[in-house]
């Protein structure tokens, strides 16, 4: 039986892309919910939690380094992106095995931090390749829906890593949680292993090539030959430089830097606030932020993707940013309601839904901006800027909380989120003028 080619099967293509995003979300949920709650329960301060968060996001801030390699060396008998994905998944599983072998991961933060960095280097490589594969294989009419489903799948992975692994950690300790994470990612790795990107690709080194598609026109022949021709590094850099001379691309880069910075600033503070100050248990915090809130984010991401195709991704992005800014400000000023579990759960659910919708809309924006010839490099640059904004503010969480207090820091985050809204009209005007 010939292997399934993702370019030829719309449903299978979406399933594989979404599953790979689940594999990215599981470690993120584990780091930001399960591990963070365990550290807070053991007396760790905001600075310690923030430092582990930063170690997990720093590789993502520099994942743009992978883009030129993936674009430059992206032509092989086994597909353009698939070999890189398989290498990345092997590295992810290997680092998780090393974490599972640690007697007490929370006590040995230096070793844990090193493995967290290594794991996220491989995880960020997979992210670059999956995004590039999406740009290669998704038709324009599916990009909004696909971006929503993919980012929603990442929320699903975060729910597994946060809520699900929190339960495992509570029942059998952190090593059992690591084993559960290895099982999930290992199962997902079978999907790219058993499929191919396009007809003509080899599934395994010993496989026979399947039938290649027949080009229907001279333009198709030229496109096929162009994709097969190895590109020089100089040509890639020239294309990338040309892409970022477009005003719309520049504004998109600024928006990427600020889009999720406010959420990153508040994440370590919220963990310490709920667990250490308000007395939430690790299981309760995991159920709220790694369970209910994450599923709300999943729903928001899927809805955001469909709305992006319906009314435009920029309108959805601006609307979600505005409501998020308002929500941060209200929560910061409403400390008298922090003891009310119902209201706090409602806040966490609404915040996560808006964040998911915002991210899905921004993905759709970036899909439309990126040039196919440098898809991995340009899209990765935008995603790296998003992660750079988050990792940069992680280290500001502790100092800002200590100097201004929790409430004022929430107001600062609201101002940062509102600044993103102010940029959107300029992006719209520039895009109309440059026809992007």
- Provide the β-strand partners of residue 196: 5
Determine the average pLDDT of the residues in 266-290: 79
Establish if 406 belongs to a structural domain. Answer: yes
Establish if 94 belongs to a structural domain. Answer: yes
Cα distances (angstroms) measured from residue 59 to each of 62, 126, 252, 362: 5, 12, 21, 21
Establish if 426 belongs to a structural domain. Answer: yes
Is residue 410's pLDDT more than 60? yes
pLDDT at 274: 82
Establish if 225 belongs to a structural domain. Answer: no
pLDDT at 354: 93
pLDDT at 426: 66
Cα distances (angstroms) measured from residue 184 to each of 56, 161, 190, 329: 19, 10, 11, 38
Determine the average pLDDT of the residues in 94-117: 79
User: Residue written as tokens 């931090």?
Assistant: 113
Mean pLDDT for all residues in the chain: 78
> Residues 304, 360: contact at Cβ < 8 Å?
yes
Q: How far is CA 228 from the centre of its chain?
A: 29
pLDDT at 284: 79
Establish if 226 belongs to a structural domain. Answer: no
CATH value at residue 70: 1.20.1250.20
Cα distances (angstroms) measured from residue 120 to each of 23, 58, 110, 116: 12, 8, 16, 6
Q: How far is CA 421 from the centre of its chain?
A: 21
Establish if 237 belongs to a structural domain. Answer: yes
> Residues 142, 277: contact at Cβ < 8 Å?
no
As a whole number of angstroms, the distance between CA 168 and CA 300 comes to 27
For the chain, how many structural domains are there in total? 1
Establish if 429 belongs to a structural domain. Answer: yes
Reduced to 3 states (helix: H, G, I; strand: E, B; else coil), residue 206 is coil
Of 37-46, 371-380, 385-394, the range with the highest mean pLDDT is 385-394
Is residue 429's pLDDT more than 70? no
**Which residues are within 8 A (CB) of 79 and not within 5 positions of it... i.e. 6 or more apart?**
196, 197, 198, 201
Establish if 308 belongs to a structural domain. Answer: yes
Domain span at residue 387? 6-204+231-434
Nearest to 373 by CA among 136, 129, 120, 168: 136
Determine the average pLDDT of the residues in 102-125: 80
Is residue 428's pLDDT more than 70? no
């Amino acid at each position: 039986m010939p292997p399934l080619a993702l370019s030829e099967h719309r449903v299978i293509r979406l399933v594989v892309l979404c599953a790979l995003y689940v594999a990215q979300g599981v470690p993120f949920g584990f780091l930001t919910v399960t591990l963070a709650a365990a550290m807070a329960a053991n007396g760790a301060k905001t600075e310690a939690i923030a430092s582990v968060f930063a170690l997990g996001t720093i590789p993502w801030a520099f994942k743009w380094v992978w883009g030129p390699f993936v674009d430059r060396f992206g032509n092989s008998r086994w597909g353009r992106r698939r070999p890189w994905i398989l290498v990345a998944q092997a590295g992810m599983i290997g680092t998780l095995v090393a974490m599972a072998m640690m007697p007490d991961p929370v006590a040995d933060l230096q070793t844990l931090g090193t493995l967290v960095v290594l794991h996220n280097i491989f995880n960020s490589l997979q992210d670059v390749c999956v995004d590039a594969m999406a740009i290669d294989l998704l038709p324009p009419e599916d990009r909004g829906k696909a971006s929503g489903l993919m980012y929603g799948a990442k929320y699903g992975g975060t729910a597994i890593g946060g809520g699900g692994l929190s339960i495992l950690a509570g029942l059998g300790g952190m090593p059992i949680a690591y084993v559960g994470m290895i099982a999930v990612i290992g199962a997902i790795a079978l999907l790219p292993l058993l499929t191919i990107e396009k007809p003509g690709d080899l599934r395994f080194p010993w496989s026979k090539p399947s039938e290649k598609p027949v080009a229907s026109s001279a333009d198709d022949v030229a496109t096929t030959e162009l994709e097969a021709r190895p590109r020089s590094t100089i040509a890639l850099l020239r294309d990338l430089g040309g892409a970022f001379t477009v005003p719309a691309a520049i504004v998109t880069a600024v928006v990427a830097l600020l889009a999720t910075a406010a959420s990153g600033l508040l994440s370590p503070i919220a963990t310490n606030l709920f667990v250490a100050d308000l007395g939430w248990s690790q299981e309760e915090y995991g159920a709220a932020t790694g369970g209910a809130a994450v599923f709300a984010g999943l729903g928001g991401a899927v809805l955001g993707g469909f709305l992006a195709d319906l009314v435009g991704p920029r309108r959805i992005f601006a609307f979600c940013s505005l409501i998020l800014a308002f929500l941060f400000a209200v929560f910061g000023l409403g400390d008298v309601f922090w003891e009310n579990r119902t209201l706090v759960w409602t806040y966490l659910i609404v915040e996560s839904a808006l964040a998911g919708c915002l991210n899905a809309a921004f993905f759709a924006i970036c899909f439309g901006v990126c040039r196919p010839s440098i898809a991995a490099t340009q899209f990765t640059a935008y995603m790296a800027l998003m992660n750079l904004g988050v990792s940069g503010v992680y280290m500001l969480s502790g100092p800002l909380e200590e100097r201004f207090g929790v409430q004022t820091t929430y107001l600062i985050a609201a101002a940062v989120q509102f600044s993103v809204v102010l940029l959107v009209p300029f992006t719209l005007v520039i895009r109309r003028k440059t026809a992007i």
